[in-house]
Structure 1
Amino acid sequence: MVAGAIVKLQCNNTKYPLVSTARTDKNGYFFLQAPKSITTFGAHKCKVFLVTSPNATKPSNLHGGVVGAALKPEKPFVANKLPFVLYTVGPFAFEPKCPKH
């Protein structure tokens, strides 16, 4: 993944889909915290998508970057006396855009 790319978390488990976005850091990683209305029981209806990159490349579908990647639970933990679960996706990739002839 590249620095400055935009990713989107979309959850379709409510009447109105919830959407959050994040930008990748200098190493191509991102951290996106879901809204508090999304529980670990509803996370299976959430997916992460590649949106844009800063260098004129297009999202590839590696690991579901275009069609949406399912969240994979990694690590439960407690923060501020509340239980949380860390989820992962990817890795994602971008591909060059072919020049038009």
Structure 2
Amino acid sequence: MLFSKLNFEGAVVKLQCNNTKYKLVQTHETDKNGYFFIEGPKSITSYAAHKCNVVLVSAPNGLKPSNLHGGLTGAGLRPGKPYVSKGLPFIVYTVGPLAFEPKCPR
């Protein structure tokens, strides 16, 4: 699971995992508070999480994604504290902070 915050509603992020056995690409839009939560499939284990990253796809309000902390090239996942829920272990990962910048007129 991936949980993080951007400061804009309607921004789109993409989780991509390039494990040699399983490929994964999931996109998600931030909520009204700028948060996003992506639940990865069980095929992505904590052992394969280092092959995953998050990129900024698009931003609202005439902004463009910046490469702060890898927003364009791929921000690595940072593991949080392991949890157990209903007898199953899981880890929540975070990224960021990621940011946007104004589009400059040419």
TM norm. shorter chain > 0.5: yes
Count residues with an aligned counterpart: 100
CA deviations over 1:15-73 (Å, ceiling 9, x no partner) = 45211111111221111111111000000000011000122211001111000010001
Aligned equivalent of 1:88: 94
1:10 paired to 2:33? no
RMSD after superposition? 1.2
Q: Structure 1 residues 16 and 78, CA, compared in 2 at 3 Å: closer, same or farther?
A: closer
Runs of 4+ in 1 over 6 A off after TM superposition: none
Matched ranges for 1:62-101 at <5 A: 62-100=68-106
Question: Per residue, is there more strand in 1 or in 2?
Answer: 2
Query: Which sections of structure 1, spanning at least 5 residues, go unmatched?
Result: none
**Alignment-mate amino acid for residue 30 of structure 2:** T
Say whether 1:47 aligns with 2:50: no
Q: Which residue of 2 aligns with 1:33?
A: 39
Runs of at least 5 residues in structure 2 that lack an aligned partner in the other structure: 1-6
CA contact (8 A) 2:9 2:31 kept: yes
What is the percent sequence identity of the aligned residues?
A: 67
Q: Distance in 2 between matches of 1:15 and 1:39?
A: 12
Of 63-72 and 23-32, more deviation after overlay is shown by: 23-32
In 2, Cα distance between equivalents of 1:15 and 1:74: 25
TM-score, scaled to structure 1: 0.92
Higher relative contact order (CA 8 A, sep 6+): 2
- SS for the counterpart of 2:26 is strand
